[in-house]
Amino acid sequence: MENMNLDISPASDYPTPDLVQLLNLSFEDYLIPIHFDNSQFLNMLHKDAIDLTASRVLLIEGQPAGIALIARRGRASRLAAMGLKKELRGKKAGTWFMEKLIREAHDRKDREMVLEVIEQNESAVHLYEKFGFQKTRRLIGFTHKDAKQDAKSDFQEIDLREMRYLISQYGLQNLPWQLSGETIALMNPPICAYRLGNAYIVISDPVVEHIVIWSLLVEPSTRGNGLGVDMLKRIMAHHAGKIWHVPAIWPEEFGILFERAGFQREKLSQWQMELSL
Cα 96 vs. chain centroid, distance in angstroms? 24
pTM: 0.93
Among residues of the chain, what percentage have pLDDT more than 70? 97
User: What is the pLDDT confidence band of residue 88, given thresholds at 50, 70 and 90?
Assistant: confident
Question: Phi, psi (5° rounding) for residue 44?
Answer: -65, -40
pLDDT for the residue 152: 67
Write down the pLDDT at residue 4. 78
Could you give the CA distance from residue 134 to residue 48 in angstroms, rounded to a whole number?
Answer: 22
* Sign of torsion over alpha carbons 41, 42, 47, 48: positive
Q: Please give the average per-residue pLDDT across 107-127, as a whole number.
A: 96
Q: Which of 190, 126, 131, 118 is nearest to 157 (CA)?
A: 190
For the residues 43-52, what does the mean pLDDT come to?
96
Handedness of CA 207, 211, 213, 218 (dihedral sign): positive
Residue % of the chain over a pLDDT of 90: 88
By the 8 A CB rule, do 196 and 225 touch?
no
Domains of the chain listed by start with CATH number: 6-110 (3.40.630.30), 141-272 (3.40.630.30)
Q: Over 70: is that where the pLDDT of 168 sits? A: yes
- 139-148: average pLDDT: 89
pLDDT of 224-266, one tens digit each? 999 999 999 999 998 888 999 999 999 999 999 999 999 999 9
pLDDT higher than 70, residue 2: no
Q: What is the pLDDT of residues 183-226, one digit of tens each?
A: 999 999 999 999 999 999 999 999 999 999 999 999 999 999 99
Q: Roughly how many angstroms between the first and final C-alpha of the chain, as a whole number? A: 27
Q: Amino acid letter at 165? A: Y
